[in-house]
Structure 1
Amino acid sequence: MRHLRFYFDPISPYAALAFARLPEVLEGLNVVVDYVPVLFAGFLKAHGHKGPAEIPGKRSWTYRQVLWEAHRLGLPLQLPVHHPFNPLALLRLCWAAAPAGRTPSRWVVEQVFRHVWEGGGDPLDPQRLQALQTLLAPPLDPSSDEVKSRLRQATDAAVAAGLFGVPTVLVEGELFWGLDGLPLLSAWLRGDPWFQQGGWEQAARLPVGQARPGS
């Protein structure tokens, strides 16, 4: 049995769509999946990046493209009333609902994604957040130091493992990033012979031709 780790932040619509598609992508495979909530903003800080919603042209393209992808895939997705937003309350709620020493269940993660990406509501509306917390009934206080530490440690460990965005699936040291990385993940897990032809390794060793000053 192969062990996969699905890293996500509910702020990402691509993570929401990838989460919904993952069971189909993994159908017939002998795998187990851990769902790992991480702070995407921590990745941006670590790598000196801007998020897609922080770049005006990319912002509008991102929302249009994810709405199209949801339509194409037949998945329910509506934009929230504002985006981006601070996802800390939702991330901490995920970790508060996780059993000791484990990651949150798929059901918990599904409720959090639905809270953000279905219905077009405000993800941070206090009444909606309280209703979500009541539904999840977490054994820990989401504002506790233990929960905050779980989130911080998970984010730091993800950065150390080489992650730079969400969603990312980590399996046997290999990273598969993004919604459009899921077909690649499926092919890798199913032993597609392309991976034995050298291109996968060669791509990681391509020399840098020129770097921007200060990069």
Structure 2
Amino acid sequence: MSREIEFWFDFSSPYAYFAALEIEALAARHQREVKWRPFLLGPAFSATGMQPLVQMPMRGDYAKHDWARLARRRGIPFALPASFPAATQIAARAFYWLEAEQPSLASRFVRAVFQAYFGEGREVHAPGEIVSLAARLGADAERLSTALQDPALKALLRAKTDEALARQIFGAPFIIVDGEAFWGSDRLGMVDEWLQRGGW
């Protein structure tokens, strides 16, 4: 049995932001480790016929209300950026480079991107912004900046996105424990119970 909790997400997902703030504590309670797996929701939307929530009548307005309500309930900052939903491939590529080259920074980078984008409402998806954010954590800015244009890193993110679709991951966040998949931040309580009970 794997000791990992897979956390599949897109940096543009507010629900992934909320779940990302809790998943490590949940994992620690069960002596597990989080395996962060950013991917791109765009291909998933194409495969399922879905759209970003804010582009859907009625559902978009509800989602905006729900995000603000969740933030108030949990006492955490939330500010929907003007660019939302933004393309997130630069942040995702940066994560995979950090995971390979400076792994101690990878999880901190995830939290930093989410905090900047949804906690502070900052525009952080341009290459310069991503490199600057990573550098403040201790990343090698010059090497990361070069790597972001590397075809191999672009191919890696495409492969992770293809893997997500092949595994029927169609939204964010998707949490997988011991082969069992849970979709949505509202399933964290169920994930916790599943780990406690050993499934059902």
Which AA in structure 2 matches 1:178? Answer: G
Q: Are residues 23 and 134 of structure 1, via their aligned partners in 2, closer, same or farther at CA, if it must alter by over 3 Å?
A: closer
Question: How many residues are paired up?
Answer: 193
Matches within 5 A, 1:87-126: 87-99=88-100, 105-124=106-125
Between stretches 177-186 and 118-127, larger displacement belongs to 118-127
TM-score, length basis structure 1: 0.80
Letter of the aligned partner of 1:181 in structure 2? R
> Partner of 2:151 in structure 1?
145
Which residue of structure 2 aligns with residue 80 of structure 1? 81
TM (norm. structure 2) is: 0.86
**Match of 1:164, SS?**
coil
The alpha-carbon distance between structure 1 residues 155 and 104, as it changes in their structure 2 partners (threshold 3 A), is farther
Q: Does 1:181 align with 2:187?
A: yes
Name the larger-Rg structure. 1
Instruction: Quickly say closer, same or farther: Cα 1:132–1:168, change in 2 above 3 A.
Output: same
The counterpart of 2:164, out of the listed 158, 164, 176, is 158
**CA gap 1:169/1:65 in 2 versus in 1, 3 angstroms:** same
Closer, same or farther in 2 for the Cα pair 1:125/1:38, shift >3 Å? closer
One of 143, 168, 178 as aligned partner of 1:172: 178
Tell whether the 8 Å contact from 1:10 to 1:16 is kept in structure 2 after alignment. Answer: yes
Name the structure where helix makes up a greater proportion of residues: 2
Unaligned segments of structure 1, at least 5 residues: 197-215
1:183, distance to aligned residue in structure 2 (A): 0.6
What secondary structure, in the 3-state scheme, does the structure 2 residue paired with 1:186 have? Answer: helix
For residues 1-38 of structure 1, give each alpha carbon's deviation from its aligned partner in whole angstroms, at most 9, with x where no partner exists.
62211011110010000000113333421212110110
Q: Distance in 1 between matches of 2:79 and 2:131?
A: 21
8 Å CA contact 2:77, 2:120 repeated in 1: no
Shift of 1:105: 2.4
Asked whether the 8 Å contact 2:109–2:134 carries over to 1, the reply is: no
Residue in 2 that maps onto 1:19: 20
Q: Which residue identity is paired with 2:57? A: P
Q: Matched residue of 1:85: which SS?
A: coil
